[in-house]
């Protein structure tokens, strides 16, 4: 059931040529995972990907996993805040425009909680040259990247933020 147990990633995989779905990759959180900066148990770091578009969420999650990161995901800002408070990720990659709670409001909430006050937050947006993306910095985001954003570019930003925290 969503929100219960230790499942931290369940991605939808493409269909094989025979029309059957491939087995989706699944990561399990370790109950004793450190809630501090990257450790061997967390790989290169724990990244929370928050996006209401499942294809985007899964693409970034699979990419970060392939690059040695541990990954958790959430489908909107409300779930993103809950997941961040539960797992205390090293970096949060969050879409700006989402249902229930947008990236700006989610960032504001995260900055008000001691557990996530100093967590690096990257906001992704398709809005260009509008006031809404600028509100991301006022809310406390550390970086703002424009969509479409190549996974490699996003990884560079994540690693840069992790290095600045070390």
Q: pLDDT digits over 62-117, tens only?
A: 999 999 999 999 999 999 999 999 999 999 999 999 988 999 999 999 999 999 99
Of the two residues 164 and 45, the one the predictor is more confident about is 45
Buried b (16+ CB within 10 A) or exposed e, 22-32: eeeeebebeee
Tell me what percent of the residues of the chain surpass a pLDDT of 90: 57
pTM of the model: 0.74
Q: How many CB atoms lie within 10 A of CB 144?
A: 19
Output the pLDDT for position 84.
98
The Cα 20–Cα 37 span in angstroms is 39
What confidence tens digit (pLDDT) does each residue in 147-164 have?
Answer: 889 999 999 999 999 988
Q: Are strands 91-95 and 70-74 parallel, antiparallel or unpaired?
A: unpaired
Q: What structural domains and CATH numbers belong to the chain?
A: 41-165 (3.40.50.2300)
Higher pLDDT, 34 or 101: 101
* % of the chain beyond a pLDDT of 70: 69
């Amino acid at each position: 059931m969503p929100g219960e147990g230790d499942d931290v990633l369940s991605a939808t995989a493409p269909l094989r040529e025979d029309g059957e779905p491939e087995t989706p990759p699944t990561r399990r959180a370790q109950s004793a995972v450190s809630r501090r900066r990257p450790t061997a148990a967390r790989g290169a770091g724990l990244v929370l990907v928050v996006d209401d578009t499942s294809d985007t969420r899964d693409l970034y999650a699979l990419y970060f996993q392939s690059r040695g990161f541990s990954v958790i995901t959430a489908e909107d800002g409300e779930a993103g805040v809950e997941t961040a408070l539960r797992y205390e990720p090293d970096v949060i990659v969050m879409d700006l425009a989402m249902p229930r709670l947008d990236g700006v409001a989610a960032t504001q909430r995260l900055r008000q909680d001691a557990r996530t006050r100093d967590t690096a937050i990257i906001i992704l947006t398709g809005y260009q040259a509008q006031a809404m993306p600028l509100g991301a910095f006022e809310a406390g985001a550390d970086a703002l990247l424009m969509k479409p954003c190549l996974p490699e570019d996003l990884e560079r930003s994540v690693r840069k933020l992790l290095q600045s925290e070390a």
